Amino acid sequence: LLGMISETFCQLENLINGVVYNVGISAVYDVGESEIVEVEFEYTGTGAGNNIIATTELTGNYPNPFNPETTISFSLNPEDAEDAELIIFNIKGQKIKTFHINSSTLQSINSITWNGTDNSNRSVSSGVYFYKMRAGARYTNTRKMILMK
């Protein structure tokens, strides 16, 4: 057991090139635990500590619904990193908050924590919000989250 993960992703570190790994995954619910699903893969990177990011993807936010804050996770290929940003909109489509993503600190998996405030640091009301990640000229994705106070 590597540990308990409360996210929808897991980053494995210090893998050795050419080695086949087996990972067991299960979900824990209030009423019990799911069966363990085994995943087998061969690591084909360039060595331990390899942080090459292959894809740009807006993974999601956790928790959702949330109060008082949520963590939005994403991966960002360096080719898409120029002018990358994460924008939060209210249900009316008004821009609430903008996060400019610093490409010099990118890792394989990245996250931004939103504390339910706008660009002026004022608390926003409960409701449905949309977050959009734009990266370079090639990537745009939008997802929904709910703030409950």
Each residue's pLDDT tens digit, 85-135: 999 999 999 999 999 987 766 666 789 999 999 999 999 999 999 999 999
Cα 138 to Cα 120: distance, rounded to the nearest angstrom: 30
3-class secondary structure, 112: strand
Residue 84 pLDDT > 50: yes
CATH of 57-147, picked from 2.60.40.4070, 3.30.360.10, 3.40.50.150, 3.40.50.620, is 2.60.40.4070
3-class secondary structure, 114: strand
Domain extents in the chain: 1-50, 57-147
Higher pLDDT pick, 16 / 90: 90
Query: What's the confidence (pLDDT) of residue 69?
Result: 96
User: Mean pLDDT score of the chain, rounded to an integer?
Assistant: 83
3-class secondary structure, 103: helix
Pair 129, 145: CB distance under 8 Å: yes
Reference 89, options 53, 120, 127, 63; nearest CA is 127
pTM above 0.85, yes or no: no
**Residue 126 backbone dihedrals phi, psi, to 5 degrees:** -60, 150
Percent of the chain with pLDDT over 70: 82
